[in-house]
Structure 1
Amino acid sequence: MAESWVNSAERIGSDLLLELTGPGSRRAVLIRALRDAVREGRLTPGTRLPPYRSLAADLGLARNTVADAYAELVAEGWLTARQGSGTQVAHRAAPAAPARVPKKAPARPDAPEHDLRQGRPDAGSFPRTAWLAASRRALNAAPNDAFGPGDPQGRTELRRALAGYLSRARGVRCSPERIVICSGFAHALRLLFGGGVLRGPLAVESYGLGFHRSILTAAGVRTVPLALDEHGARTGELTGLPGVRGVLLTPAHQFPTGGPLHPRRRTAVIDWARTGGGVVLEDDYDGEFRYDREPVGALQGLDPDRVVHLGSVSKSLSPAVRLGWMVLPGHLVGPVLAAKGEREAWASVLDQLTLAEFIESGHYDRHIRRMRQRYRRRRDQLAAALAAHAPHIAPTGVAAGLHAVLRLPPGTERSTVKAAAWQGLGLDPLSGFRHPAATMPSEDGLVVGYATPSDHAYGAALEALCRALPPPGA
């Protein structure tokens, strides 16, 4: 006998799959199937079953067969039957499940009492009300095709909204046709290199996220460190790196050391790409947040055919909103879409529609302005605390972004990080971002994120930081 469904949502609260298989009469098979449904928790105590006539019609059985099955299960205590209440699953003690030995989970470090790690925006400032309103408007206006298989290039509504926003706010030169939506910067790297669109070796800045380098390594890409100084990456040295035809930069705000790429070096990297047929990957991870300087436009604006502009909302909104974008040279759009596949598998179409509405309605700009003021106050609090309690240590790279770099006396980084841990303080050592093959002189320092703690906890976090810092002359 084949599997059958009880399609009685209005009567029992949900559909129930009954497997009417195995030896025996139809009555015996039905009784066994109902017992199994109770044992497995698919029919919970108090669940009302359909009248036997309805169940018989659903399963294609004789009414007497179902009535007899109900009667036997009532007699056994599996079901109860009362006049006016119908037939229900009995409230009986379920047999105890056999004890299971839990598998040992990998140890995870405890969250620090004070979190000053980089890369984490203020989660409490997510614009919940405005986002919910944008979601409702977007869903009401969405065409029917939005609820079918997703377009791997991304929804037209979002690509159109991003083209306008990036042009206006970041100086990006693009049309919606050159934008491909992804789930974030890491996803973009996997598509570009893991998908075979671009190949290594790839020049990268001597200080950057090790996570990004590991993605490239997993894709078989060798990374070559490019030295840094106070003017950013030394892009003039690209001509001396044989075989390198691509470079990954953070030109608006070098990560993590801070500061924009010098105008002459911006020009130099574009000239290098044009002359040698190279490509520049621009990680615009926090370009909206600047405080004491004029806005620095996107490098892509100098040559849209040589620069891949990569961005996301992980800093501006939340890393929980898994949306990013690639603004591509025209000849790379097709290969990226081929690498991505025929259907969108990463970026939620509903979130895309919501973000498009959030941008078009002006809420995104208002949120950025509000957070810019909030983060500037946080940065100023950090600077004031250092000036009062550790004047020998000055924060650097603080004209923009969500973190500061504290330069430490030589040989004190490890002990300072250990002292911070004793204070319950989570932060990142500068050395943790250094490329393993970098040849430029190393410096001791801390990368301090000032966006994460709540307002009421931020003062205590700064006090813990100042207690952990080495004294003058250390």
Structure 2
Amino acid sequence: MTGRPPHDPAPDSGTTTGADLHLDLPPDGPRRTALARALRDAVRSGRLAAGTRLPPYRSLAVDLGVARGAVSDAYAELVAEGWFTARQGSGTRVAEGAPVRPARPASGPAQAPRAHAYDLTQGKPDPASFPRGAWSASARRALAAAPDDAFGPGDPRGRPELRRALAEYLARARGVRTDAEHVVVCAGFANGLRLLAGLRPRDWAVEEYGLPFHHGILAAAGVRPHPVPLDGDGARTDALPARARTVLLTPAHQFPTGGPLLPARRTAAVEWARSTGGVILEDDYDGEFRYDRKPVGALQGLAPDQVVHAGSLSKSLSPALRLGWLVLPDALVGQVVAAKGLRESWTSAVDQLTFADFLDSGAYDRHVRRMRHRYRDRRDHLAATLARRAPQVRVTGIAAGLHAVLGLPPGTESAALAAARGAGLLLDGLSEYRHPAAEPLGSAQEGLVVGYAGLGDRGFAEAVEVLAGALGSMCSMTPRSN
């Protein structure tokens, strides 16, 4: 049989069209036979999945260095055998139901099934709520308007369009005092923390409770940590050590315990920085998400020359974007830009341009407001359910953020964690966030850290019922303290 397969589209006028298709052909022998065998093997092995469109036969002939007739005949043979289909306007495709050889199981121990039905770990926004339509619209506008230099090597400070948009947004929404020249775009907060850890003196003050991942970044950079005690009013900034020259704080919503840094303690932190020549690194990880009142402004607004304001999209949009920023005092801008070094750690210029449009169009404000309402309802539902079914467990901290700490009766954290995990819930105990260098007794607290943002509405409602049931049963067996 010769000629094109039935209904195959007309041959391309050039040789630069068509998808790439890798096939190994023997150096001699009939080309049509070898090509048909290679195509069957590609389908059997799963390399060509059902529905995959094959390259036009002229393009494949040029790629493989064979006659066009050999490709046309091989396609026609596989169409006749039922491996391929060919329809006008759709081209030649792998047929549905073509036999696929089962994949050989990987060597090594079998993978254990998932042990948890519900993931309540903190730090994850609802992935189903990502504003795909608005983000796609911003991406289209940003690409259409992008200057040619956006597709070149770029600037380690980040795209100027985004730095300008961020400076305007942070001034309006978070009370930050800055301009585009003091904004440096980075690949999330962790990237910014690594940069600063390599630049600042080794003695850092850190909050007694924090993210172990951040503790690890500082340790890897050789930082000597000095944990600062916490209470219900946030970090005890009156106890900042004199030898430290940098302090890492979460003023808007202490992570993970949930208290705000009260005004007097904000003032004490600024006075410490001014008197010692120190720097405050303000991790504003979820500053937009305050539910019981208007969000408190950034600490940076009190002392732009002493505070580095750091933020990212990990909580508000998605950690997959790898987009963050540092608002820097004048003395640190050049040092941070130089420390960024090779381009490989930079954030995609296309994502930066898209986010700049997302900010300018108001889409980011609309998304944050929408998620603020959703997460507030989630927190309220969690608190109400626990109050009804496990009254000895209390939701602590301010109404803010994407997680809550459940305060527990003394001596019950291990039992509560075991009960929750035994019921199919994945979550953490508060003790896992306490800095290993903190005082052994100090202000140790007991509780569970519950993320209420990552699940869908139905899954979250089910998870809360399971959690309340597990904690209610555990508390009923715990003697009340006198």
Tell me, yes or no, whether TM beats 0.5: yes
Deviation digits for residues 259-298 of structure 1, max 9, x if unmatched?
2112111111111111111111100000001111342111
Q: CA deviation at 1:13?
A: 2.4
Output the CA distance in 1 between the equivalents of 2:369 and 2:59: 61
Output the CA distance in 1 between the equivalents of 2:258 and 2:380: 16
- State the match for 2:119 in structure 1: 115
Output the CA distance in 2 between the equivalents of 1:399 and 1:420: 23
Output the CA distance in 1 between the equivalents of 2:299 and 2:111: 42
- State the match for 2:195 in structure 1: 191
Deviation digits for residues 37-84 of structure 1, max 9, x if unmatched?
9599699897665499x959x98xxxxxx77xx99xx6xxxx6749xx
Secondary structure of the residue that 1:248 maps to in structure 2?
strand
| Aligned positions of 1:416-435 closer than 5 A | 416-435=416-435
Secondary structure of the residue that 2:292 maps to in structure 1?
coil
- State the match for 2:86 in structure 1: none
Q: CA deviation at 1:176?
A: 0.5
Output the CA distance in 2 between the equivalents of 1:137 and 1:372: 27
* Residue 151 (str. 1) matches residue 155 (str. 2): yes
Secondary structure of the residue that 1:281 maps to in structure 2?
strand
Output the CA distance in 2 between the equivalents of 1:257 and 1:98: 50
Output the CA distance in 1 between the equivalents of 2:376 and 2:186: 29
- State the match for 1:164 in structure 2: 168
Once the two structures are overlaid, the 10-residue window that deviates more, 228-237 or 436-445, is 436-445
Q: CA deviation at 1:12?
A: 7.4
- State the match for 1:228 in structure 2: 230
- State the match for 1:24 in structure 2: none
Q: CA deviation at 1:373?
A: 1.1
Q: CA deviation at 1:393?
A: 2.1
Pair 86,313 (structure 1): closer, same or farther in 2 beyond 3 Å: same
Preserved contact between residue 80 and residue 90 of structure 1 (Cα < 8 Å): no
Output the CA distance in 2 between the equivalents of 1:458 and 1:146: 41
| Aligned positions of 1:179-258 closer than 5 A | 179-193=183-197, 196-240=198-242, 242=243, 244-258=244-258
| Aligned positions of 1:64-83 closer than 5 A | 81=73
11, 18, 42: which one aligns with 1:13: 18
Q: CA deviation at 1:251?
A: 0.5
Output the CA distance in 2 between the equivalents of 1:219 and 1:90: 64
Deviation digits for residues 397-442 of structure 1, max 9, x if unmatched?
1321122111111111111111111211122101010111211132
Q: CA deviation at 1:101?
A: 6.9
Pair 17,307 (structure 1): closer, same or farther in 2 beyond 3 Å: same
| Aligned positions of 1:167-178 closer than 5 A | 167-178=171-182
- State the match for 1:368 in structure 2: 368
Secondary structure of the residue that 2:128 maps to in structure 1?
helix
* Residue 128 (str. 1) matches residue 142 (str. 2): no
Pair 98,291 (structure 1): closer, same or farther in 2 beyond 3 Å: closer
Output the CA distance in 1 between the equivalents of 2:22 and 2:453: 50
Q: CA deviation at 1:16?
A: 7.6
Deviation digits for residues 216-273 of structure 1, max 9, x if unmatched?
1111212221111111111111145x3x111100011101111211211111111111
- State the match for 1:407 in structure 2: 407
Output the CA distance in 1 between the equivalents of 2:126 and 2:181: 33
Deviation digits for residues 306-341 of structure 1, max 9, x if unmatched?
111110011111112211000111111111111112
Output the CA distance in 2 between the equivalents of 1:185 and 1:400: 19
Q: In the alignment, residue 371 of structure 1 is paired with which amino acid? A: M
Structure 2: segments with no counterpart, 5+ residues: 1-11, 84-99
Preserved contact between residue 48 and residue 86 of structure 1 (Cα < 8 Å): no
Output the CA distance in 2 between the equivalents of 1:233 and 1:55: 69
Q: In the alignment, residue 442 of structure 1 is paired with which amino acid? A: A
- State the match for 1:343 in structure 2: 343
- State the match for 1:4 in structure 2: none
Report the TM-score, using the length of structure 1 for normalisation: 0.82
Pair 101,442 (structure 1): closer, same or farther in 2 beyond 3 Å: same
Deviation digits for residues 363-403 of structure 1, max 9, x if unmatched?
11111111111111111111211221122222111321122
Output the CA distance in 1 between the equivalents of 2:453 and 2:17: 50
Pair 143,30 (structure 1): closer, same or farther in 2 beyond 3 Å: farther
Output the CA distance in 2 between the equivalents of 1:234 and 1:207: 12
- State the match for 2:8 in structure 1: none
Q: In the alignment, residue 415 of structure 1 is paired with which amino acid? A: A
Secondary structure of the residue that 2:149 maps to in structure 1?
helix
- State the match for 1:141 in structure 2: 145
Q: In the alignment, residue 218 of structure 1 is paired with which amino acid? A: A
Secondary structure of the residue that 1:453 maps to in structure 2?
coil
Report the TM-score, using the length of structure 2 for normalisation: 0.80
Pair 124,97 (structure 1): closer, same or farther in 2 beyond 3 Å: closer
Preserved contact between residue 18 and residue 59 of structure 2 (Cα < 8 Å): no
Output the CA distance in 2 between the equivalents of 1:395 and 1:55: 67
Structure 1: segments with no counterpart, 5+ residues: 1-6, 21-26, 60-65
